[in-house]
Amino acid sequence: MDDAPASRIEVRELTLAYGGDIVLDALNLPIPSGRITVLAGPNGCGKSTLLRAIRRLHAPRSGHVLLDAEDITTLNGKALGRRIGLLAQSPSAPQDMTVEELVRLGRYPHQAMLQPWSPRDDAAVAAAMAGTGVEALRRRPIGSLSGGQLQRAWIAMVLAQETEVICLDEPVNHLDMAHQLDCLELVARLNREEGRTIVLVLHDLNLAARYADQLVFVHRGKVHRRGAPEELMTSEGIAEVFEVDAAILTDPVHQRPFCIPHRRV
Ligand SMILES: Nc1ncnc2c1ncn2[C@@H]1O[C@H](COP(=O)(O)OP(=O)(O)OP(=O)(O)O)[C@@H](O)[C@H]1O
């Protein structure tokens, strides 16, 4: 990364647990403003739990999440919802809800008692549906969609929220190659053109390396390493965290590291 911008989100000494099982232990992580941060790590290392804690959906055992230097526990629910959007890993909604109804839910944090719906809400919903290519599906019940169509409808719901921070947990799950590109290019455009701060969980390290300004390897309850993809995507680093031998090449199109895993270590 070039000269570090201010942290939009600062995770400080955050310990997250389920009952007695500690998942993340006194974890520290600055998430720079206006940049794309990608979290990667083995199954079960706590990436989703961390994203949920950043969105205040998982109460920490100890430690803090600061948003623009303010502890997120001081914000009310709607104020936080206008600032941080999260697409969780397995979101659920009634199967008979239409795509458009789902996307409109994203506007909830913007609604006030005396002004339940506005032209601005319509515009945000339309833009989110156009950006994710779900306009033609708008009247379909979500229970009738394919996995990839449903994923795009959920992404639209989060985009309609128009938050300065967008967190997406495995957003390209279920998507074919074209829609993976559409999704990540859309997110990259929101980052580039509107300065949104993006936090993604991605399992595909090659996509992570292509889109991340800051790549974070989460391992054994800690941030194992963080930095530019070129710094993290080494054979040694990948063997330590993911327990595979991998050859590292340079992607000839994007000039980013490209990894070919070939054997478990
Ligand atoms: N509701 C829960 N109750 C108890 N344990 C949980 C719960 N949710 C997650 N865990 C455990 O917490 C740990 C971290 O889970 P989490 O989903 O955050 O990992 P992850 O890195 O996102 O994994 P994956 O890559 O498989 O999606 C795992 O050991 C998981 O089994």
Q: Does the Cβ of 40 fall within 6 Å of ligand 1?
A: no
Q: Which pLDDT does position 224 carry in this prediction?
A: 97
Rounded to the nearest 5°, which phi and psi values hold at 223?
-80, 110
Q: Does the Cβ of 24 fall within 6 Å of ligand 1?
A: no
Residues 187, 24 contacting (CB under 8 angstroms)? no
Q: Does the Cβ of 45 fall within 6 Å of ligand 1?
A: yes
Residues 75, 67 contacting (CB under 8 angstroms)? yes
User: Do strands 36-40 and 214-219 pair parallel, antiparallel, or not at all (unpaired)?
Assistant: parallel
Q: Which pLDDT does position 3 carry in this prediction?
A: 62
Q: Which pLDDT does position 116 carry in this prediction?
A: 79
Torsion, Cα 188 192 194 199, to 10 degrees, reads 50
Q: Whose CA is nearest to atom 26 of ligand 1?
A: 43
Whole-number Å distance, alpha carbon 198 to ligand 1 midpoint, is 22
Q: Does the Cβ of 46 fall within 6 Å of ligand 1?
A: yes
Residues 162, 140 contacting (CB under 8 angstroms)? no
DSSP letter (8 states) at residue 16: E
Q: Which pLDDT does position 7 carry in this prediction?
A: 82
Q: Which pLDDT does position 249 carry in this prediction?
A: 98
Going along the chain, which residue ranges are E strands? 7-18, 21-32, 36-40, 62-67, 70-71, 84-87, 165-169, 197-201, 214-219, 222-227, 244-250, 257-264
Whole-number Å distance, alpha carbon 23 to ligand 1 midpoint, is 8
Question: What string of pLDDT tens digits covers the 265 residues of the chain?
Answer: 456 678 899 999 999 999 999 999 999 999 999 999 999 999 999 999 999 999 999 999 999 999 999 999 999 999 999 999 999 998 999 999 999 999 999 999 998 877 778 999 999 999 999 999 999 999 999 999 998 899 999 999 999 999 999 999 999 988 899 989 989 999 999 999 999 999 999 999 999 999 999 999 999 999 999 999 999 999 999 999 999 999 999 999 999 999 999 999 9
Ligand 1 atom having least distance to the Cα of 46: 18
Domains assigned to the chain: 7-93+162-264 (3.40.50.300)
Enumerate the β-bridge partners of residue 30.
Answer: 10
